[in-house]
Amino acid sequence: MGRIVKITTKFFYILLTMLSFSVSIFALQGKPNSVYAQSPNLNSIMINNFFQTEETEIAYSLYLPPNYSQDQKYSFVLFLHGAGDRGKNHDQLLSSHYGFVETLVSSNEYKNNTIILIPQCPEPYLWVDASWDTGSYTIKEEPTPALKAVKLLMDQIVSNYSIDNSRIYACGVSMGGMGVWDLLARYPQYFAAAAPICGALDETKINEYLQTPIFTANDLRDTIVGANPTCNVMQKLKNLGADVVYKIYDAGVRNDDTFHSTWIDSFQLDQSEDNVYNFLFSRTLNKQNDEKPIAWLIIILTSLFSLLLISITIILICKQKKSQ
């Protein structure tokens, strides 16, 4: 009987070690370090079109995965450009090379399961009709005609294509980041996660921002869009237990005397575990704090199995003592 106890105990430790190793390996999967990659000509893989509303018309480009099927559910990503890319010109819209869309359509991790919408803000409109230099503004009752058109277009695409409503994301830079903050305040719990980069926000909308996981970034010396309001809001959100990541990058290292181009760091350079891609796509609506549900299930089952082995060992020891 003593021999059986020793063998069982040894087996228990070996099995526990193997399961722990398996859990560790699993936890490392599904989080690729994304880096900016030169993509094929975006015009060659995009559907370019226009969307008409009662107030305006916007140009847009839509990316569908190569083997798109109505039988599969896809993530849906909105990308809003900065103020310098306004117009009604698809070539202009697709030549900005911020790096975000290029990475998504170049990566095997995303290009086959993600639909991407890139609308273009027509002049003279803005995504948000407010000054952005201080980094803060007061949201108006109605969105601008351009941003209203974006939301209507999103609704149409969600209705027409096979999109997983729990995996809708928004990303934007500068004026586009401001547009994303505006959408988050108007439509809380619509997006699974968002990444408004170096854009102005409404500092009074803490409760609305609290409902969406947010990745954002600044250089605190930014002379185009003041960074302090974003810094303050992100700190308040962290204090409230929000699911947020706030990165402070050094845009000046690229001789950017405006210290504004933190989208380059966010989309092209950051290979950390909590970069923008890993942050966004690990979140799903209503499951925001459960990044690895299967991993947690494995850990729980491992613990239960370990308890079972311990119980068996104790029973065997007790039987051995009784037989003596």
Report pLDDT digits (tens) over 218-253. Answer: 999 999 999 999 999 999 999 999 999 999 999 989
How much is the pTM? Answer: 0.79
Mean pLDDT by 10 residues, the chain (324 residues): 49 47 38 48 89 96 95 97 95 87 92 96 96 96 97 98 98 97 97 98 98 97 96 97 97 91 94 95 74 51 72 72 64
Question: CA 5, CA 11: separation in Å to the nearest integer?
Answer: 10
Say if residue 271 is in the same domain as residue 307.
Answer: no
Rounded to 10 degrees, the C-alpha dihedral 247/227/249/80 comes to: 80
Tell me: do 275 and 315 sit in the same domain: no
- 8 plus 45 within the same structural domain: no
Gyration radius from the chain CA atoms = 25
pLDDT at 17: 46
Our CA dihedral for 105, 107, 112, 115, rounded to 10 degrees, sits at: -40
Q: Is residue 287 part of a domain?
A: no
Pair 218, 266: CB distance under 8 Å: no
What burial letters (b/e) apply to 272-307, b meaning 16+ CB within 10 Å? Answer: eeebbbbbbbbbbbeebeebbeebeebbeebeeebe
**Residues 41 and 65 occupy one common structural domain:** yes
Residue 240 counted as domain residue:
yes
| pLDDT digit string, tens, across residues 125-146 | 999 999 999 999 999 999 999 9
Considering the domain architecture, whether residues 177 and 318 belong to the same structural domain is answered as no
Whether residue 269 is found in the same domain as residue 183: yes
Give the per-residue pLDDT at 257. 92
Say whether both 83 and 146 belong to one domain. Answer: yes
Question: Is 286 domain-assigned?
Answer: no
pLDDT at 322: 66
Give pLDDT, residue 23. 38
Domain that holds residue 62: 35-281
- Is the CB of residue 99 less than 8 Å from the CB of residue 268? yes
What is the rounded distance in angstroms from the CA atom of residue 110 to the CA atom of residue 106? 8
Q: Are residues 156 and 17 in the same domain?
A: no
Q: Does one domain contain both 179 and 272?
A: yes
Number of structural domains in the chain: 2
Q: What is the pLDDT of residue 36?
A: 46
Same domain, 17 and 106: no
Distances (CA, A) of 42 to 90, 137, 231, 301: 10, 34, 34, 46
- The answer to whether the beta carbons of residues 248 and 85 sit under 8 Å apart is no
Q: Give the 3-state secondary structure of residue 80.
A: strand
Any idea which residue has 């051995």 for tokens? 320
Are residues 241 and 152 both part of a single domain? Answer: yes
116 in any annotated domain: yes
Residue 139 lies in a domain: yes
CA atoms within 13 A on the CB side of 242: 23
Peptide bond preceding 124 in cis form (omega within 30 of 0)? yes
| Phi/psi at 172 (5° precision) | -160, 160
Please check whether residue 136 lies inside any domain of the structure: yes
Distance of CA 25 to the CA centre of its chain: 23
